[in-house]
Every structure is written in C-alpha cells, then in structure tokens.
Amino acid sequence: MLLIVWVDVMILENIIVNYFLLIITAQTLSIKLKNIRAIISSAAAGLYTLVIFYDKLKFFTILPIKLLVVILIIYGAFGKNKLIFILKSTLIYLLYTFVLAGLIFFLEYRNMGNPAYGYYENFNTKWLIIALMLLYIIIYRVFSFIISRRKLNNYTYNVEIFTKSSSFTVSALLDTGNELKEPITNLPVIIVEKSAVSDIDTSLYEKLYIPYKVVSGQASFLEAFKPEKVKISYDKDNFQYKNAVIGISDIKLSEFNEYQALLSRDII
C-alpha cells in the first residue's frame, strides 16, 4: 500500500499543534507567552518531524533526543533558564501532548466502530481538532489584545514636562513595578525615551546619574535631569503638578509607540 505524505501540510499541522500546546502550557503556569518566541519554537518543532523521513537521522528519534528537543522548545518559547521551571513546564507540555494524542486516537477508533462511519469515511477527526485549536488560538489572541488595550488605556496618562525654555508632552504608562527614585532628593523618576527629549537642551541642567538594577540583576546608571515641574493629566479636567526627575532611556519603551515614558508608582 502506497502512503503519500504531504510534507508541507504535516509541518503546518505540527506548528499549529505545538503553538497550541505552548499557549495552554503558559496559561497553566500563569506566565505571559511571547508570541514571536512561541512561533519560532513551534516552527522548529514542526521541522524536527522531518527526521523520520531520513534513515541517517533516525538517531534523532530515540527517546532521550526527543526529550531534549522538548526541553529546547520550552526554553526557546519561554526564555527562562531556571532548571525547576524548565522541568515543570516540560512535564506540563508533555502531559498535554499525551492527552491530545490519546484524544485523537480515541475519537478515530470510536468513529470506526460506529455503524454510521461508512457515511463519513472521508471525515478526519484530526482536522476537526486542529480546526478547534486554530479557533482557540484566534480567540486567545483577540482576547489578549483586547485586555492588553484596556489595561493600556487605564494606565496611560498625558504628562507635560516643563523646562526652562518650553514644555513638551508625552504619553506615559504607569509602571507599578517602578520604584526608581533620585537618591539625594528622593524624588520619583519618570523614564522618558531619548527621542522624546531630543529637542531639549539638557546641558542647561545639572546632570544626575541614577543607579538602577534590571530584573536580570545587572546594575547601571541612568542619566537624568530635574525639570521645572511636571503636569500629570488624569482626564480632561483633572490634573496635578508634581516634582519629579526625568531619566533618559536609550532604549525604545513601546514597540508600537503607544507611550514614550514610564511613570513611577510613587508619582500617582
């Protein structure tokens, strides 16, 4: 019996399945899944299935190598290198994989034992499940986008920064994890993209250097200056003037230019 396999279809199926498994694994672990990393890991997992067609690559189908591939998929998708997290997420991923495979196997053979199966012999349970996965992925992405936009709107403020010669306005996101303060004055720090202050002559101000530490533990200094005042608008008729320090960031704060500054939680 001649078995015809459409390699491109097989790879696409595996990409969809692996992406779905990564989504529900991330949801089980209550962590945010980075879309680009997840897609790349899913694509790599899909390409890995090609080893079954080459006798010289049969070595890559043995159990230890398969487990290593799963670990690499998990690491690539989540980017966390803590051993406990990798082992935990790998076990969850494998659990969902076995459950899904068992479900497909059960439905296929259950249908074959059904007297009405002859009327639906061209029906493929696998495609039904993949269609449901795609529907789940689409709904998940849409709801994630809506929730993200709602949170962004609720925590974004218009901030007008007054300098010695002029003023400029930026859209600022309230960063509840930002407790950065200028160590001498103890004033909260508003982190602003360098491009947003490019027209300001910061040489008119005393340069401040604020020590900070990122999540990875790396420490550095943030160049800053103290403006005349800062106006934070909560809505059209509700605003406050605050004293704060402006820290200049060399990196882009928002991928889609939704905001150009980060507010310290102590300033609101």
Q: Is 175 a catalytic site residue? A: yes
- How many Å apart are CA 35 and CA 33, to the nearest integer? 6
Closest to 92 measured CA to CA, from 23, 164, 193, 161: 23
What number of other Cβ atoms are within 10 A of residue 213's Cβ?
10
**CA R_g for the chain:** 26
Q: What are phi and psi of 223, to 5 degrees?
A: -70, 140
Counting every residue written for the chain, the total comes to 268
Q: Which of 8, 55, 175, 250 is catalytic?
A: 175
Alpha helices in the chain (DSSP H): 7-29, 35-48, 63-78, 83-112, 125-154
How far is residue 26's CA from residue 144's CA, in Å, rounded to a whole number? 13
Residue 70 contacts residue 90 (beta carbons within 8 Å):
yes
Q: Which residues are catalytic?
A: 175
